[in-house]
Each structure stands twice: as C-alpha cells, then as structure tokens.
Amino acid sequence: MTRRNSTGDSFFAWEGDTLVVNILGKPNAARNVIGKPKGTQLKVSVTAAPVAGKATDHMVRFLAPLFGVVTADIEVVFGRENVNKQLRIKAPKKLPAVFTQSSLLPAED
C-alpha cells in the first residue's frame, strides 16, 4: 500500500486536533532551528548526529516545547532514520511562527 501525502500541497495539515507535519531534517547542524518550508516539507535542523534515529529523537525533544506538548505527544509516523519524515503532534497548545505565516498565504495554483 502506498502512503498518500495527507498534507496535500502544504507542509502541514490538521486531522482533528492532531497536527501532521512533513519534515526535511538536517542533522549535524550548527544549531537547532526551524527553517522555512521547502515545497511540502518544513526544514528542521538539529545539532545531533544521524546515528540510529538519534537525530530524530533530538528533533522531537527540540520541537515539543515549541508546540507546547510533551515528547510523548509527538509521533514519528515514518522517517525515523531518514531526512524525510512525518510527525503527528497531538493537540499542540501553540504553533511556531512559520505555521501562522504560511496559513495566511493564499494557496498557489
């Protein structure tokens, strides 16, 4: 079964109160930072090395407070050991600025 992109043309989508985010990860970065959307993915850089999913685990710990959730509320759907990944964030209490900026942008044809 092929997994469809549930976020459509955006890097994120809502499924009820769960935020689904497509991530383009960049391990071994100089600092932990949320970058700009790149197509249907959001670039997220982390300082951790890409060893056995440790960079993804580090990313989840970095992102949790930015969304106002605990790490257990972030599920890595796929891509734990890949730069292309999808996260499901259960009932985020806040959103980083990139989400509010892109939700104001008109849809591109």
DSSP character string of 53-105: THHHHHHHHHHHHHHT--GGGEEEEE-TTSSEEEEEEES-S---HHHHHHHHS
Q: What is the reported pTM?
A: 0.86
Q: Which residue has the higher pLDDT, 6 or 38?
A: 38
Q: What does DSSP assign to residue 15?
A: E
What is the pLDDT, as a whole number, of residue 68?
97
**Segment (H or E) for 27:** none
Per-residue pLDDT tens digits for 49-101:
999 999 999 999 999 999 999 999 999 999 999 999 999 999 999 999 998 76
What is the percentage of the chain residues whose pLDDT exceeds 90? Answer: 80
**For 16-37, what is each residue's pLDDT tens digit?**
999 999 999 999 999 999 999 9
Q: How many residues does the chain have?
A: 109
